[in-house]
Structure 1
Amino acid sequence: MTRQQAAPVAVTFGVLGPVTAATERGPVALKGPRQRTVLARLLIARGRVVPVERLVDDLWESPPGGAVGAIRTFVADLRRALEPDRPPRQPPRLLVTEPTGYVLRAAPDAVDAGRFEAAVGEAGRLLTAGLPAPALDAVDAALELWRGPAYADCAGEIWAAAEINRLDELRMLAVERRAEALLALGRPDEAAADLPAHLAHHPLREDAWRLLAVARYRSGRQGEALAALREARDVLVAELGLDPGPELRQLEADILAQAPHLTSTAPPPARRVGSPQPSGRVDSTPQPGRVGSTSGRVGSPPQRPFVGRDAELQRLRHAAEAVARSGRPALALLSGDPGAGKTALAEALTRRLTAEGWATAWGRSPEYEGAPAAWPWTQITDALTGPTALAGPAALTGSTALAEPAGGGSEGAGDPAVARFRRHRAVASLLSGVADRGPLLVVLDDLHRADGDTLDLLTGLLTGPQPATGPVLILGTYRATEINPELTAALARSASLEPVREYLAGLSDEATGELARAVAGVELDPPTVRLIHHRSGGNPFFVRELAQLYVGEGAVALAAVPPGVRDVIRHRVGQLPEPTRTVLRQAAVLGRDLDPEVLGALTDDPEAVLDAWTARCRPVS
């Protein structure tokens, strides 16, 4: 075989510790931290193209004039190190140049993180199948791959944070699956010996506390099992203000009752790879600062009926599919009256896309004053970088620098404009890094309450000088009746993107009936459905309130205003200017289909009617 025909040398990569590369000939010499950083950035992209501009932004906070040339030098050196036998002028096979940047074509099993993830998944399947011995072998082999913290060379890099946290989450899951296997094999003493060290570093893992308590109980240490559950309660209350979940509460009752099933060695159901713990990075029904998943959440409210929005949901899914195909960010806007179901539709889209493999993160604009600037983006960055993904004080340490960069004493520290610039750049880098691994949905709920920094960051991520890259769909929801000047300006700036726009009008008669029946839990006759639709105008919130009123007091109560609706109306009207309230009271006397000229004659001031209507359309403060 000639030199030109020689097969390429197989290269393997290590990221479960310092970043390394090796061939069958031994370790590959990597020249300095910058070269390792470039290799790590390409590995995190998992076969996706990383644009040169993205590499420059990720390697330097303030890129030097020759940054692009330096990147090319790093890549050339990497190519020579990874493919030393490549003949001159023959194109590289591993680190390939694309029109916009570079891509590292490494097979999943060529990276230790890929082998680790596959082994943890196999252990879960074996546990589910009732095969704990091979499951233990698989998870032991997986844990032996770790040489230190994942991507140890890049621990402080924003673009690496999401992948590092994902691998750390899988490592915690592997430790817990090892304990499950030991329990199923009748070796509770070993499981009880290993778990305290795990919990010392990850005290919010409820499943680990469960396994420790069961292991101690099966080892004949009932008192220590109960002590573990008491410690779990103390930790959860102190750190999160939450009581233990139903699984731990039931386990405590079973231990006190010495339930026979606790001594069974049948393996417990194994969780899916990447499935969340109460302290995990992913979660279900979207809450601020949460990354989407399909599994349950401690304390989550029951899912409300979702009806009548299939067409709108399908159009948003088509927008998401277009983003995934193009690999470029896009914006979708969802508007409607209060109670129209904007959040419910966004939640439905989140569930669908999560099931299809998308990462999802939510941020909501608060109803109260005093929240930090760009608070919804702080919630989102918490979800994408924080190991707990909980929007509370304990979870803010990883995202405060993203939400409110301090400057660290560098040039421009303390300058609000510099802080905003750094925040924009950090969030763009984070979203792009997550999107490198797969499509990402970001939901910004209640934009009509958003502050200027939130809206500036939204438009800057899509139209600014350093926008986010990759398949990112940003979905913003807002009340069409409460568009303030800041939101108007943001919508104008984003108009060139031709965002997908959906307006939620009232539900149809048929959908109103379906929703009312689901809420009432009883069959409703057509006249009752028509009355509910007429009274509510198809507004889902009003429909639910009327259906609950019907259940409690019967059809005669449908003539009244439900208490929940009355409270909302009283609150909103109470915050309007006095002239507007006067005109609304006069309009109410005239009924639903009023004549503006009649209302103007009644007020004796037609201009006051116009002023009141204009004030009504401005957001209440």
Structure 2
Amino acid sequence: MTTAPVVGTAHRTPQEARGPGRTAPGRVLVEFRALGPVAATVCAQPVDLGAPKQRALLALLVSQVGQPVPVDVVVETLWAGHPPPSAITSLQSYVANLRRLLEPERAPRAPATVLRTSPWGYLLDGGVVDVDVRRFGEHSAAGWRAWDQGDAERALAEFDAGLLLWRGQAYPEVADAPCVVPEVARLEELRLSVFEIRCAALLAVGAHEVVIAELGAFLKANPWREHGYELLSLALYRAGRQTEALEVLRAIGLRLKEEMGIDPGPALQQRKQEILNQAPALDWQPTTRATVSLVPQPKPDTDKAVFVGREPALAVLTEALAAATAGRGQVVAVTGEPGGGKSALLTRFAARAAVPVLCGTCPEHVAASPLWPWEQVLRAAGTCFTDSPAPGPVAELLGGVAPAPTDDEDASGVALRRFEAIVHYLTDVSRNAPVVVLLDQFHRADPCSLRLLAHLAESVRSLRVLLVVAYRSDEAPVLAETMAALSRGDLTRIDLGGLDIPETRALASAVLCREVCESTAEQLRARTGGNPFFLVELLKPPTGQQVDDPSAVPLPPPAREVALRRVARLPGPAVELLSVAAVAGRCFNVEVVAEVVPVGIDAALESLDAAIAAGLVVEDQHRLGWFRFAHAVVAEALHDNHGRLRRARLRRRLGAVAGSPRRRARDSTSRGR
């Protein structure tokens, strides 16, 4: 066992945390979040922190909460060593603005309580504010104490609570400031250590497969964490993958020698010998019943995953979980266009759920075996509920002993027996605790998995199970038969549309780490339709550049590729029609485009039907014969896919057709309708 390190702000004395002149902590007035872009909540309401330098000032003060920050340090940080003559005046204005935001009910001329002035500079009073950095430290310390006391489940709960506070780099607005760099480095090292010890706790409760998945991503982002490789090799060994465990140790040993010129540490060398000798000490020994909730954890890399909005959808899922907990199982279908935030919604809901969450997903680029997403769910159930052994057909499926059911009639009995065994197994485990089953990307599921979903849905209403299925709306025809079967029961649908303007503004501000004005948010939403993927891609600045107007940046390659891939899934005539239409603009007259292609109007409308079904085009309800691209991003991608000469020729032909007297007469008639 290890000794809990000093974490959070515990290195300051209580008197320092309260600030000079305070004898006891007051009530919390403001909550700050600094494990990601700085944010503040006053009276349970988020506040707009204003301009970038004002936000940076607040981030600097939060990083030193309870301690005064000298004015010269503030000026040096905000203006990077090159302050203008008006720097002090601007600083005083920022302080006054922040005081109004943080204490909106403070009477005129009353002394500030939160952001105070001292003889040594400005400080945030640690006695009346709460900071997520401090709470992360408290959860980490509590987790280490529980771990040292042998309570792995309690340690897991504390580590999970702490890690879920992270939304990105700590203090990103001032992370390079000399006085903040040590604290950022300390917090990052603590985060990595907490992630590793959390994996050790998962191993202690038998969640070997979960550790393998999470440490794989972790070590790609942090390739020199030897303790991580030690834990990964143990997880692989316990999962019956001894060869892979030894390969992990061999690879890191070779890399250390070739790139660093050193040998692996004693712990790695000892682990290798233990695996070679199949030491009994490596075997997992169950202690108490493991009730760990297998929820998706924050990515262990430096990506800033931002989640905004979707509160109505989360409310529906929460209500469905409450019904399932009471014994009225539910089925919820989450649908939306690609990049619309379905997976992010499921991850956020899983993080909020206080019950075991069993996840399965369908891979996109690999041909998976039948029932693959259900295998993931059942493995997670076996890890979570060790005192409920899997019945024979389920164990055979997980062990790959019996062949998977096929479409042949002779195999129908085998399939039905296996389906029934899976239903009985989930029924058994849900008696111990309510269970959430999340099936993501289910439009890629194999026919066997779809039939099992329909079969389970017939029984779920009598179970303590919430079954959530997410799929792409443009792939709905693939699931038509399955969804029809689900609709015969009590099915709840959540259709994720685009983010609205306030949500778009919140997302843009969080990604850019600065406040985005409402007009920019409106332009971003008009360009992307509120699609979170397109929004984030547009907001990513080119390397080494500052994005001044995110709504006007050129279309990034990832967004272009995704848009073109969506179009390429359409039939060939529809692709050609949309390619020409994109040159006409986001809105286009189908008769004009059809004449330029050229193609008959009936064939053009048939192509548009396919594009509408795919969510790429919508019909104009005010002008007969007019349509528009659902996302300007798609129109941009198609437009830029043409060469300059071809675009010029198409524009001339479109203009000639639209400007003909016969066409003007038709347009006048259609407007009259």
Compute the TM-score of the two structures, normalised by the length of structure 1: 0.50
CA distance change for structure 1 residues 528 and 333 in 2, over 3 Å: closer, same or farther? same
Task: Assess if the C-alpha contact under 8 Å between 2:304 and 2:511 holds in 1.
Answer: no
Q: Provide the rounded CA distance (Å) in 2 between the counterparts of 1:536 and 1:517.
A: 16
**1:371, distance to aligned residue in structure 2 (A):** 1.3
**1:493, distance to aligned residue in structure 2 (A):** 1.1
Matched, 1:538 2:513: no
Q: 1:424 aligns with which of 399, 419, 424?
A: 419
Matched letter for residue 337 of structure 1: E
Q: Corresponding residue for 2:509?
A: 517
List aligned pairs for 1:561-576, cutoff 5 A: 561-576=555-570
CA distance change for structure 1 residues 617 and 446 in 2, over 3 Å: closer, same or farther? farther
The CA deviation string for residues 188-230 of structure 1, in whole angstroms up to 9 with x for no partner, is xxxxxxx9xx99x9999999xxxxxxxxxxxxxxxxx9x9899
Matched, 1:481 2:474: yes
Q: Corresponding residue for 1:304?
A: 305
Matched, 1:313 2:320: no
Matched, 1:239 2:244: yes
Q: Provide the rounded CA distance (Å) in 2 between the counterparts of 1:405 and 1:317.
A: 38
Q: Provide the rounded CA distance (Å) in 1 between the counterparts of 2:233 and 2:471.
A: 43
Task: Assess if the C-alpha contact under 8 Å between 2:323 and 2:329 holds in 1.
Answer: no
Task: Assess if the C-alpha contact under 8 Å between 1:335 and 1:502 holds in 2.
Answer: yes
Task: Assess if the C-alpha contact under 8 Å between 1:341 and 1:541 holds in 2.
Answer: yes
List aligned pairs for 1:136-535, cutoff 5 A: 238-239=243-244, 292-293=294-295, 299=300, 302=303, 304-325=305-326, 327-353=327-353, 356=354, 358-368=355-365, 370-386=367-383, 400-401=396-397, 406=402, 415-463=410-458, 469-485=462-478, 487-535=479-527
Q: Provide the rounded CA distance (Å) in 2 between the counterparts of 1:523 and 1:451.
A: 45
Give SS of 2:540's match. helix
Q: Provide the rounded CA distance (Å) in 2 between the counterparts of 1:491 and 1:234.
A: 38
List aligned pairs for 1:70-109, cutoff 5 A: none
Q: Corresponding residue for 1:3?
A: none
CA distance change for structure 1 residues 597 and 468 in 2, over 3 Å: closer, same or farther? same
Q: Provide the rounded CA distance (Å) in 2 between the counterparts of 1:514 and 1:388.
A: 40
Task: Assess if the C-alpha contact under 8 Å between 1:361 and 1:383 holds in 2.
Answer: yes
Q: Provide the rounded CA distance (Å) in 2 between the counterparts of 1:414 and 1:538.
A: 47
The CA deviation string for residues 71-101 of structure 1, in whole angstroms up to 9 with x for no partner, is xxxxxxxxxxxxxxxxxxxxxxxxxxxxxxx
Q: Provide the rounded CA distance (Å) in 2 between the counterparts of 1:454 and 1:461.
A: 10
**1:422, distance to aligned residue in structure 2 (A):** 2.0
Q: Corresponding residue for 1:286?
A: none
Task: Assess if the C-alpha contact under 8 Å between 1:329 and 1:462 holds in 2.
Answer: no
**1:126, distance to aligned residue in structure 2 (A):** 12
**1:510, distance to aligned residue in structure 2 (A):** 1.0
CA distance change for structure 1 residues 376 and 202 in 2, over 3 Å: closer, same or farther? closer
CA distance change for structure 1 residues 563 and 203 in 2, over 3 Å: closer, same or farther? closer
**1:528, distance to aligned residue in structure 2 (A):** 2.9
**1:553, distance to aligned residue in structure 2 (A):** 5.2
Q: Provide the rounded CA distance (Å) in 1 between the counterparts of 2:542 and 2:448.
A: 44
Give SS of 1:482's match. helix
The CA deviation string for residues 434-456 of structure 1, in whole angstroms up to 9 with x for no partner, is 21111111111112222221111
Matched letter for residue 574 of structure 2: T
Task: Assess if the C-alpha contact under 8 Å between 2:211 and 2:232 holds in 1.
Answer: no
Matched letter for residue 294 of structure 2: G
Matched letter for residue 313 of structure 2: E
Matched letter for residue 436 of structure 2: L
Q: Provide the rounded CA distance (Å) in 2 between the counterparts of 1:126 and 1:595.
A: 63
CA distance change for structure 1 residues 529 and 229 in 2, over 3 Å: closer, same or farther? closer
Q: Tell me, which stretches of 5 or more residues in structure 1 are unaligned?
A: 1-123, 143-165, 171-194, 208-224, 259-276, 284-290, 390-396
Q: Provide the rounded CA distance (Å) in 1 between the counterparts of 2:471 and 2:210.
A: 36
The CA deviation string for residues 415-437 of structure 1, in whole angstroms up to 9 with x for no partner, is 32122112211210121112111
Q: Corresponding residue for 2:634?
A: none
**1:359, distance to aligned residue in structure 2 (A):** 1.1
Give SS of 1:307's match. coil
CA distance change for structure 1 residues 339 and 238 in 2, over 3 Å: closer, same or farther? same
**1:570, distance to aligned residue in structure 2 (A):** 2.7
Task: Assess if the C-alpha contact under 8 Å between 1:542 and 1:565 holds in 2.
Answer: yes
Task: Assess if the C-alpha contact under 8 Å between 1:442 and 1:473 holds in 2.
Answer: yes
**1:242, distance to aligned residue in structure 2 (A):** 5.7
Matched letter for residue 128 of structure 1: R
Task: Assess if the C-alpha contact under 8 Å between 1:366 and 1:449 holds in 2.
Answer: yes
Task: Assess if the C-alpha contact under 8 Å between 2:333 and 2:492 holds in 1.
Answer: yes
Task: Assess if the C-alpha contact under 8 Å between 1:378 and 1:400 holds in 2.
Answer: no
CA distance change for structure 1 residues 591 and 443 in 2, over 3 Å: closer, same or farther? same
Q: Corresponding residue for 1:605?
A: 600
Task: Assess if the C-alpha contact under 8 Å between 2:538 and 2:553 holds in 1.
Answer: no
Task: Assess if the C-alpha contact under 8 Å between 1:406 and 1:419 holds in 2.
Answer: no
CA distance change for structure 1 residues 534 and 416 in 2, over 3 Å: closer, same or farther? same
CA distance change for structure 1 residues 530 and 549 in 2, over 3 Å: closer, same or farther? farther
CA distance change for structure 1 residues 619 and 528 in 2, over 3 Å: closer, same or farther? closer
**1:352, distance to aligned residue in structure 2 (A):** 0.9
The CA deviation string for residues 237-272 of structure 1, in whole angstroms up to 9 with x for no partner, is 94367679x9xx9xxx9x9799xxxxxxxxxxxxxx
Q: Provide the rounded CA distance (Å) in 1 between the counterparts of 2:211 and 2:444.
A: 36
**1:559, distance to aligned residue in structure 2 (A):** 4.1
Q: Provide the rounded CA distance (Å) in 2 between the counterparts of 1:349 and 1:126.
A: 23
Q: Provide the rounded CA distance (Å) in 2 between the counterparts of 1:436 and 1:232.
A: 31
Task: Assess if the C-alpha contact under 8 Å between 1:407 and 1:419 holds in 2.
Answer: no
Q: Provide the rounded CA distance (Å) in 2 between the counterparts of 1:384 and 1:340.
A: 29
Give SS of 1:483's match. helix
**1:514, distance to aligned residue in structure 2 (A):** 0.8
Q: Provide the rounded CA distance (Å) in 2 between the counterparts of 1:500 and 1:566.
A: 33
Q: Corresponding residue for 2:587?
A: 593
List aligned pairs for 1:40-51, cutoff 5 A: none
CA distance change for structure 1 residues 350 and 607 in 2, over 3 Å: closer, same or farther? same
CA distance change for structure 1 residues 556 and 407 in 2, over 3 Å: closer, same or farther? closer
Matched letter for residue 335 of structure 1: T
CA distance change for structure 1 residues 481 and 374 in 2, over 3 Å: closer, same or farther? same
Give SS of 1:368's match. coil
CA distance change for structure 1 residues 422 and 596 in 2, over 3 Å: closer, same or farther? same
CA distance change for structure 1 residues 242 and 478 in 2, over 3 Å: closer, same or farther? farther
CA distance change for structure 1 residues 550 and 490 in 2, over 3 Å: closer, same or farther? same
**1:341, distance to aligned residue in structure 2 (A):** 0.4
Task: Assess if the C-alpha contact under 8 Å between 1:520 and 1:550 holds in 2.
Answer: no
**1:496, distance to aligned residue in structure 2 (A):** 2.0
The CA deviation string for residues 330-387 of structure 1, in whole angstroms up to 9 with x for no partner, is 110111111110111111111111xx2x111111122135311121111111111258
Matched letter for residue 364 of structure 2: E
Matched, 1:128 2:145: yes
Q: Provide the rounded CA distance (Å) in 1 between the counterparts of 2:243 and 2:611.
A: 45
Matched letter for residue 373 of structure 1: P
**1:234, distance to aligned residue in structure 2 (A):** 9.8
Matched letter for residue 330 of structure 1: Q
